[in-house]
Amino acid sequence: MASVPNEPADESDRIFELQEEIDQLKEAVVSHAVVDQAIGMVVALGRVTPDEGWEILKDVSQHTNIKLRNVADLILVWGRSGVIPPEIRVELEEALDRSGPRQIPGAPPE
C-alpha cells in the first residue's frame, strides 16, 4: 500500500500537530476577545457604531504600523490606567475625527 503524501509518520507526529493547532486556536480566541473589547471602548468613547469602531481600530493599526491586536491591547491598558502611547492617542483622535462628529443619543443639539 502506498503512503499518502503529507501524512504524519506516526501518531506522535499527529498529536504534536494537533497540539500546535489547539494552541493557535486558543491564541486566536484570546486575540479576538481583546480586539472586541477595544472596539467596545472605541464605540463608547467615540459614539460610533461597532462597524465604525472596527474600521477606526484598523486605521490606527495601519497608520501606526502596529499590529491590530497590539493596538487593541494598548487601548485596553489605557482604559484601565489612563496611559496610552502618544502615537496611538494622536492616531485614535485623528481616526475618530475622520469618522465625523457624533451626537450622544438624547442630548440636545450642539
Domain residue limits, the chain: 29-98
Position 19 confidence tier, pLDDT thresholds 50, 70, 90: confident
**Measured distance between the N- and C-terminal CA atoms of the chain, rounded to whole angstroms:** 78
Per-residue confidence band for 7, with pLDDT thresholds at 50, 70 and 90: low
* ∠ Cα 63 66 72 (to 5°): 100
Kindly report the CA angle at 79 between 77 and 85, in degrees rounded to 5? 55
pLDDT for 51? 93
The pLDDT tens digits for 45-88 are: 888 999 999 999 999 999 999 999 999 999 999 999 999 999 99
pLDDT at 76: 94
The pLDDT of residue 3: 52
Is residue 56 within 8 Å of 46, Cβ to Cβ? yes
Nine-digit cell string for 56: 477606526
Please give the model's pTM, rounded to 2 decimal places.
0.69
